[in-house]
Amino acid sequence: MPHGSLSLPARLCLLAGDGAPPHRLVRAGALAELVRRGLLVDDDGIATPVDLDSRTGDPVLDGLLDLVRESLPHDWRTWVRLRARITYDAVREQLVAERCLRAEKRRVLGVFPSVSYALASPALVDALRERTRHVLRGPVPVAAVPVQDAAVAVLAAAARVRGVGRPADGARGEALAARGAGAPGVPWIMRELCAAVGAATAGAPVTAAG
């Protein structure tokens, strides 16, 4: 499967692998995608659904929309961490269904059932990682970078995903954040998501793709 057909949170899930804490990175990607689609907007710092009925057709994104609608109002940074594992687990199951991951059942200590996940195609993740590095470092102009690629790049860089690196300079990083937001006038939302992901990974081991 080409990585271009994968959702934004799915790409981040594959890049992050089992590093710590991938669930917040994946949640940030899902929030960014809902912003890009115009289904989540900012209301004085609060992540707010535009209505009660809109759906995306993606069960992961629709599940997050429902969670935001049914919960007390929260700012963007809170939503990056609040019950983030729900989104992460849903994305992993989606990747299993799409045959990007393999779910392997086992027993811990021979007694407790558990499931581990393995890449079905390491080459897919290698290509995704290389594309992300290319977006961050250039020389492709930011205006020519697809919105999803820009969002993946800045969020992965904020999470310090191994093998991805950092933007070529601060100006390119800011431009990619604005591009990744996908909606005029709200690039600062992407900066909030990156800050939340960065705070979650500060002092934690660098995440490793695959």
Q: Are 15 and 161 in contact (CB under 8 A)?
A: yes
Measured CA to CA, the distance from residue 21 to residue 197 in angstroms comes to 9
pLDDT at 104: 79
User: Going by DSSP bridges, is the β-strand pair 112-119/101-108 parallel, antiparallel, or unpaired?
Assistant: antiparallel
Closest CA to 142 of 178, 183, 192: 178
Indicate if the pLDDT at residue 150 is higher than 90. yes
pLDDT at 202: 65
Concatenate the DSSP letters of all residues of 15-52 into one string: HHBT-SSHHHHHHHHHHHHHHHTTSEEEETTEEEES-S
pLDDT at 119: 84
pLDDT (tens digit per residue) in 175-206: 999 898 877 667 889 989 999 999 877 655 43
pLDDT (tens digit per residue) in 43-91: 999 999 998 889 999 999 999 999 999 999 999 999 999 999 999 999 9
Indicate if the pLDDT at residue 137 is higher than 80. yes
* 17 beta partners: 208
* CA angle centred on 45, ends 41 and 12, rounded to 5°: 60
Confidence of residue 118 (pLDDT cuts 50, 70, 90): confident
pLDDT at 42: 92
pLDDT at 185: 60
* 42 beta partners: 47
Concatenate the DSSP letters of all residues of 177-210 into one string: HHHHH-STT-HHHHHHHHHHHHHHHTTSPPPB--
pLDDT at 205: 42
pLDDT at 182: 78
* 119 beta partners: 101
Measured CA to CA, the distance from residue 181 to residue 88 in angstroms comes to 21
Confidence of residue 111 (pLDDT cuts 50, 70, 90): low
Give buried/exposed letters for 155-178 (b at 16+ CB in 10 A, else e).
bbbbbbbbbbbebeeeebbbbbbb
pLDDT (tens digit per residue) in 10-37: 999 999 986 657 999 999 999 999 999 9
